Each structure stands twice: as C-alpha cells, then as structure tokens.
Chains A and B, each alone.
Chain A
C-alpha cells in the first residue's frame, strides 16, 4: 500500500565509488601528473623490481661471482643451459612430472568423486586422506625406494604421492557442493542419469576440480624436486650440482628462474580456466 509513495531505491552514491575500505587513496583527484604516475601499478612494479635488480647487480659486482652472478652472467647462463645439453635432463624431468601427475589425476579425481558423492566412502577414506595430506611426504621416500627402486617408477610414484591430495579434496568438495545445492532441483525435474552428470555435476563441480588440479600441480613439482634431490637425478640434481664445487651459480639461478616461470605459467593458466568455469566469477584472485 505504501509502495506508490516510495521512490525507487537503488542506493545512494555514498563514499566515492567502490574503493577498498582501507586503501590509503584519498578522494582527491586533482593531483600533479607525477603523483598520478606513482599510482600506476606497472610503474610501481617497474620501480620496485628495477630496484631489486639494481641491488642484485651491485651485490654481484661487489661480492664476486661465487656469491652472486652478475646480471649479464645470469643471462648468459640461461643460454648455456640449452647449449650445454642440460635441456635434455630438464625435459626428462618434465616428462616424468607430467606422467606422474596424470596418473595422480586418474587416481584422485574418481576417488574425489566417490568421496563427495557417497558418505560412507568419505567416512572410510577421510582419515587416511587427511592424515597423509598433512604428513611430510618426504618421510615416505625411503619406503618407496625400497618398494620400487630408483628407476622410472620411483619419481612417478613420489609425484603421485605429493600431487594426489589436493585433487581428491577439492573434487570431493565440488561434488558435495553440487549434491547439496543442485541435485534436488534437478531430480525434481526428472533429469536422467546421463544428463545429470553432463549438465549438472560436470559444469558445477568443474571450478573446484580445476582448483584441485592447480594446487595439485604445485605439489607435484615440489615432489619432483624433492625426489630428485634425494637420489641426485634430473633437474633436482642439476640444482644440486650447480650449487657445489665448482660453484656455478650463474647456471643455478637461471634454472631456478626457469622453474618459477614454468610454475607460474601453469598456475596462471589453470587459474584462468578456473575463472572461466566459475559463472559467478568470484575467483578470489589469491592463491
């Protein structure tokens, strides 16, 4: 009855648009040009990381190359990695990493689905999953070695061991989410089994699964490095070698950089996929 007298409410414009609450940015906008430049995030980044590089170079020059390689040396080191044939080792590691990871997914995702879908499976497996999840898996390396030796399967199984938990946990969460939110609605409409799976479970749980894959891949890489450090193989071995006599830090740092770039690329790719799959686009943007 009172609705005719109400003016439509969309909310008044309050404090200056949606700035984050605590940002120190004031609402003054008539700033001199250079001040505004300091607000631009790329400028800030360039300044900050530029400063770091400058400090790096200075330290390298002062302390000598056994402490830190100079920037040009590092760049040269990059090239040397490929010309000296280390690329082969890296590729070998990569191949094992990928195969191990795929196996991990083949195990993890179905397990996750079962755990999410069936309460009794969850109750059965949850103690193991959760306990192993928090266990430092490096403690288990010796057992694996005793069991499978140190050949191809060693690294693969270590990767599986490290990588399998996030996909399980996140997939289970995704399936559980679908179960609670959407399933009843779908059944009310008499959706058949196949359509349930393809139209509902798959798309709705997809972002969770991808998140699990992303986090799992990070763990896979970690597992690989640890596995290789232990038995002096592959890329891990290179990291080790470059850090011992003769000290080749000019090869070490490029290698580390390569690994970081690789990890970040995969991570960003999967984050992008996650965002695309999440209709509400509520990706937190953090980890």
Chain B
C-alpha cells in the first residue's frame, strides 16, 4: 500500500485546506460501517450456531469467555508485553530509518549503492530470518526487538527517501538564495516538505512493528501474545482460541487505527 499512499501524498501539498480542521464525519459512511460491523456479529452468531464450519463458535459463547479472560488480566499483560516489544523496535527503527532515508534521498551515491539492498529487503520475506536471529541473538527481548527492527526499518527508509526526493529543486534554490544555512535548510525546508511521506512511513512502520512483535513472540521465546495464541491453539478450547484471535485482531486494528488518526492530525496541521 505504500506506493499508493505515496501517490496520493503528491497531492497533499496541493490540496486546498478546508476552513480550519475538517471535523465533520461523513454520516452516511459511518452508518454503513456500523451496519457492516453489526452484520459481522450477526453472521458470526449465525454461522456459529449452525455448526457448519467446525472452527466457528457463535459470538455469544466466545465473547463472554473473552470478557472473563480480560477481567483476569493475563491477556492484558500479554498485550502490554508484545506492544512494548513493538514500541521499542519501532522507536529504534524510526531513529535509524529516518536519517538513513534522508541520506538516501539526498545523496545519489548512497542511493545507488543501498537501493538494491533496501528493495531486496522489501521484496523478500523477513520472516525467513527468524531461525538465524535466534542463533545470533537468543530468544529474549533483545532478539525480538532486533527482529521487529528488521520488519519496520526498510519501509521507513523507503518512504523517507521518497519524501526527500520529492522536494522540488526550485524550493531548495529559494532557500539558498535567501542565505539559508545547511542545517536550517533541513530544518525549515527539506524535512517539513518531506514530512507527509515520513509520517506515512512511520505509520506503516507501526503496523509492521506490531506484526513483527507478535511473530517473534510466537517463534522465539513464546510469551506475551504469542503464548496466548499457542495456548489457545494447544488447548483445543475453541472458545479461548477464537476469543484470543478476535482480541488480537481488535488490538492490532486499534493500534493501526490510532496510528492513522495521529498521522491525520499531524498532516492536517502541516497542510493548514
């Protein structure tokens, strides 16, 4: 999706800002979404009750069990654990990825050298490194953070680099004509101009970090949400299984949704 995001970003600066912040929600859209979600639960209940697909139990069984699980607190602690790993991995990824992306965007030399590497990393499944990460770094927190880092850093780099490359030469020339020092050039012109792309890259990075964290919590030392999944899988307690999966889905979607909202807020201000 990152390319498509990029394509619409090109129009970000050209967009005419509404008067102030456009806070109006499209009522129609909200209604349709609510309908859709309600439909989901209805379907779930229906399929569950019919017993057609063995794996599906009705919502009315799963959800109360899930609620109890949440009340017991264990699953929340697990979520926190996974999100911590994701967060740390993301922070490091951002700290490395954005400057690297700037470097690639600015310097043709570095770009030509590192682009093949970055592109290859994006095409190939990072998951294949899971076994070897275990060999070098063990199974604990450190290894997982590095794994999450591998997941998110390349997306951040690519989006940042694209943003930097999009800065028009003429605006840079303007900066020079007005005697802008190199550091001020970055602070006041280049980075702000590239910021929509950078922020989008960071948002995608959040998603990848959460994904990665769950993956490594599953395949390295199984703990946190990974443990939740494994337990549920092993126990054949379908209700727990479905409940856990549902819960994780909501958490992940929620995190991503939150990230999108943050992105939206930040970019609103940037585009006035």
Contact = CB atoms under 8 A, between A and B. Distances in A.
A41 B113 CA distance: 7
Contacts of A44: 109, 112-113
A20 B2 CA distance: 22
Contacts of B252: 134-136, 139
Given A131-B249, A226-B215, A229-B219, A45 B116 contact: yes
Interface string A118-144: 000001111110011111101111110
Given A123-B33, A127-B33, A243-B131, A147 B54 contact: yes
Interface centre among A20, A44, A124 (most CB of B within 10 A): A20
Nearest to A211: B3
Nearest to A255: B128
A224 B132 CA distance: 17
A247 interface: yes
A260 B129 CA distance: 11
A154 interface: no
Interface residues of B, number: 74
A143 B242 contact: yes
A222 interface: yes
A127 B127 contact: no
B106 A23 contact: yes
B199 to A, nearest CB: 17
Contact of A239 (B105, B131, B215): B131
Contacts of B109: 24, 39, 41, 44
Interface string A1-44: 00000000000000100011111110000000000000101001
Contacts of B134: 243
Interface in B151-165: 158, 161-162, 164-165
Contacts of B53: 147
Contacts of A213: none
A170 B215 contact: no
Contacts of B112: 41, 44-45
Contact of B253 (A135, A260, A266): A135
A94 to B, nearest CB: 14
A247 B37 CA distance: 49
Interface in A248-277: 249, 252, 256, 259-260, 263-264, 266-267
A252 B114 CA distance: 24
A287 B172 contact: no
Interface centre among A132, A139, A141 (most CB of B within 10 A): A139
A15 B173 contact: yes
B59 interface: no
A259 B126 CA distance: 10
Contacts of A123: 29, 32-33, 36
B135 A166 contact: no
Contacts of A281: none
Instruction: Give the interface size class of chain A.
Output: 35 or more
B266 interface: no
A260 to B, nearest CB: 5
Interface string B228-250: 01001100101001101100110
A142 B207 CA distance: 21
A83 interface: no
A153 interface: no
Nearest to B129: A256
Interface stretch (B88-96, B117-125, B139-147): B117-125
Secondary structure at the B interface, as helix, strand, loop or mixed, is: helix
B158 A142 contact: no
B55 A146 contact: yes
Interface centre among B113, B114, B170 (most CB of A within 10 A): B113
Given A128-B36, A139-B229, A249-B135, A287 B248 contact: no
Contact of B167 (A21, A259, A260): A21
Given A123-B33, A134-B252, A243 B40 contact: no
A51 to B, nearest CB: 10
B123 A267 contact: yes
A134 B253 contact: yes
A229 B173 contact: no
A204 interface: no
B122 A15 contact: no
Contacts of B116: 45
Contacts of A198: none
5 nearest A-B residue pairs (beta carbon) = A21-B169, A243-B131, A142-B233, A41-B112, A267-B123
15 contacts: A22-B107, A23-B108, A134-B252, A139-B229, A146-B241, A211-B3, A221-B124, A222-B125, A225-B127, A226-B125, A229-B130, A239-B132, A286-B158, A287-B3, A287-B158
Given A22-B164, A147-B54, A229-B130, 12 more contacts: A15-B173, A22-B106, A123-B32, A127-B37, A128-B36, A134-B207, A134-B256, A139-B244, A146-B233, A260-B123, A267-B123, A287-B119
Interface of B: 1-4, 6, 29, 32-33, 36-37, 39-40, 53-55, 105-109, 112-114, 116, 119-120, 122-132, 134-135, 158, 161-162, 164-165, 167-173, 190, 207, 210-211, 214-215, 218-219, 225, 229, 232-233, 236, 238, 241-242, 244-245, 248-249, 252-253, 256
